[in-house]
Amino acid sequence: MKVCIAEKPSVARDIAQLLGAAQRRDGYYEGNGYQVTWTFGHFCTLKEPHDYSEHWKYWRLEDLPILPAGFGIKLIDNAGVLKQFSIIEQLVQQCEEVINCGDAGQEGELIQRWVLLKARCTAPVKRLWISSLTDESIRNGFAALRESAQFDNLYAAGSARAIGDWLLGMNATRLFTKKFAIGKTVLSIGRVQTPTLAMIVQRQKEINAFVQEDYWELKTIYRETEFTASIDRLKSLEKANRGLAYLQEHPFEIVSFERKEGKEGNPRLFDLTALQVEANKRYAYSADDTLKYIQSLYEKKMVTYPRVDTTYLSEDLHPKIAGILQDMTPYKALIAPLLQQPIPKLKTVFDDKKVTDHHAIIPTGVYPSGLSQEEKRIYDLVARRFIAAFYPECRIANTTVLGKVGQVPFKATGKQILEPGWKEVYANDTTQKKEGEEEEKILPVFEAGESGPHTPRVHQGRTSPPKPFTEATLLRAMETAGKQVDDEEMRELLKDNGIGRPSTRANIIETLFRRKYIEKRKKNIFATQTGMDLIDTIQSELLKSPELTGQWERKLRLIEKGEYAMDTFKEELTQMVTELVTEVKTAGYKVISIAPEAPPEPEKPAKAPKAKPAPVPTDITSLSCPKCKTHLLKKGNTAYGCANYQVCGFKLPFEVLGKKLTDKQVADLITKGKTSKIKGLELPGGGEAAQARLVLNAGFEVEAEL
């Protein structure tokens, strides 16, 4: 019997169907010589300090640094995880071969390897490695299964990343909390989180220190064209008025007229970060939400694997492009011109050297149906970008006109689109207008030496402060380790030194929001006083520098390529943590009061307190499904649902009978099967109960009990 382990129940169901494993068992499918089971997220995690030594349970400066001789893993303490793991463990210990069908990326490899390690798997392991979940892709993947050993470096990089984050996070958080925090405050420090916060704080300080100033510019109208004086901005109205008087005494003269034709290159295909940036600009979607939407589209077989950091396709995909385009029937009118001739094999699209495990995000050709408004928008972004990549370049003409009034130089510029090329793909899409994008401006033809009357004026303006980060600009800054880069080629070169991975950046940003180190006002991100105080407390540049963190990221990518040793990386981090602890222990930094986040562990054992009722969990997803004991997930903005929803079907809406449920009421329903009495419930038939309980009935549905 061969055991296939997928990353979630829905994928397992699709694989089982294709393999002919039609019999539904408890926690797996079976048939045709296969057993197909699944995980749902992380089943294992690195052991905590107290798992290695009892005295590491308590937060004491004298015990730092915490440096285990070796790192072990343990199962997450969750009823659904424990149950499903026991099924996997039993299956893999009795099979002839395991096929790892996990998510085809670093995190997916780590999740599955840890499960197999914990299950003491001794059977040979093969790897299913696919870039989309279409039936064709899955069939082709099973026809060309790879040896698990081919992905040992990927697993090593994932392990090194997890261990590195553990070493720095555990030690630095305890170190700074015990050294600088007041009361029960926790100062959370992270390898990627802290330099990201430092960038936001630095921008915040620049904004706070900015002093707005008035300035004046000289402008004039000549032949219905506005020209601006090519001189430094004037600092006083008096100087501006003197300049205006001078201009009024002299005619306008054209010095030169230059018109250059050029091209605007096609937009690159999407990697995950570019898609998150674009979705934030167009629709103000958070990076985390965009990742959820594109992941959903991937699981619905409509796009290829999304957690990628390349904007290129592998060269062997070129013959398939026409077929994918032809299947994209909603975009038939846009695609028709492309199919009239062979698809060009552009170097800006196809390059094996720029593709590692996966290629850029593109549509699969599966018809997009049954999508939410948000998913439709994200699919449309991907689809139009894919189509635009194969259109002709946009031909433009840039015009520069230089003039003078007396001795004062003037300049005007214009831009004309000669042939729209790829811009036709966005011609009727108003959402595609980029922020700050230059409008088409056609200038008349001027002759050098011509002269005539003009209408000068003084324009008053005010200097602008640095722009706060949006999620779009923050993602770009993380991608380039804080460097401001607009050029696509340069951005590609800097990706290896970016902070975090494309798949983790959204979570880092959400973590900063959750810990109240940053906040959002409209689309802009600002550091809170708590976040600023935390960064001011951290004197070590090692922890705050985006460039240094980027160098660590580059080493992790080299581990993935087999060009750097995992043990060397761990040794370097161990040395860095040791030096950091020594430095901070002996430092006399000023203590800064920071708003409490969560109480740290006790410094020493205390007497056992009297039994108290279990606290209501702040994260409902830590609870288990009352129906099948699998863990719960947050389903968009409407409900909690079982992670095994496709099979189990349990769902609990945020709002029931006209009342939005509190966390305690949700927890009571899940753990006790009923809430305490609630006022104002809207009963069926239009009545309103003065007081009623909500209960889970035998069918695990919510109803009112008077």
- What is the set of active-site residues? 305
Task: Please state, in angstroms and rounded to a whole number, the distance separating the CA atoms of residues 103 and 41.
Answer: 10
The contacts of residue 341 (CB under 8 Å, 6+ apart) are: none
Question: What would you report as the CA-atom Rg of the chain, rounded to the nearest whole angstrom?
Answer: 30
Task: Please state, in angstroms and rounded to a whole number, the distance separating the CA atoms of residues 667 and 632.
Answer: 11
Q: Comparing C-alpha atoms, which of 79, 74, 130 is closest to residue 100?
A: 130
Q: Comparing C-alpha atoms, which of 27, 45, 142, 152 is closest to residue 90?
A: 27
Contact indicator for 456, 405 with CB cutoff of 8 Å: yes
Task: Please state, in angstroms and rounded to a whole number, the distance separating the CA atoms of residues 600 and 173.
Answer: 10
Give the start-end residues of each E strand in 436-494. Answer: 451-452, 455-462, 469-470
**Side chain identity, residue 368:** P
Find residue 464's DSSP bridge partners.
none
Contact indicator for 372, 282 with CB cutoff of 8 Å: no
Instruction: Say how many Å lie between the first and final Cα of the chain, rounded.
Output: 54
CA dist list (Å): 176 to 530, 542, 544, 548 = 14, 14, 14, 20
Task: For residue 615, say if its preceding peptide bond is cis, omega within 30 degrees of 0.
Answer: no
Contact indicator for 391, 265 with CB cutoff of 8 Å: no
Task: Please state, in angstroms and rounded to a whole number, the distance separating the CA atoms of residues 28 and 35.
Answer: 6
CA dist list (Å): 234 to 199, 220, 458, 460 = 33, 16, 10, 9
Cα 587 to chain center, whole Å?
36
Task: Please state, in angstroms and rounded to a whole number, the distance separating the CA atoms of residues 566 and 323.
Answer: 42
Measured on CA atoms in the order 524, 530, 536, 542, is the torsion positive or negative?
Answer: negative
Task: Please state, in angstroms and rounded to a whole number, the distance separating the CA atoms of residues 398 and 263.
Answer: 10
Task: Please state, in angstroms and rounded to a whole number, the distance separating the CA atoms of residues 507 and 513.
Answer: 10
Beta strands across the sheet bearing 125-127? 23-25, 28-31, 34-38, 2-6, 97-101, 125-127, 146-147
The contacts of residue 676 (CB under 8 Å, 6+ apart) are: 665, 668, 693
Contact indicator for 283, 428 with CB cutoff of 8 Å: no
Q: Comparing C-alpha atoms, which of 480, 479, 557, 476 is closest to residue 106?
A: 557
Task: Please state, in angstroms and rounded to a whole number, the distance separating the CA atoms of residues 104 and 127.
Answer: 9
Q: How many CB atoms lie within 10 A of CB 476?
A: 22
Return the ∠ at Cα 417 (arms to 412 and 419), rounded to 5°.
Answer: 155
Structure tokens at 426: 């966005």
Task: Please state, in angstroms and rounded to a whole number, the distance separating the CA atoms of residues 270 and 310.
Answer: 8
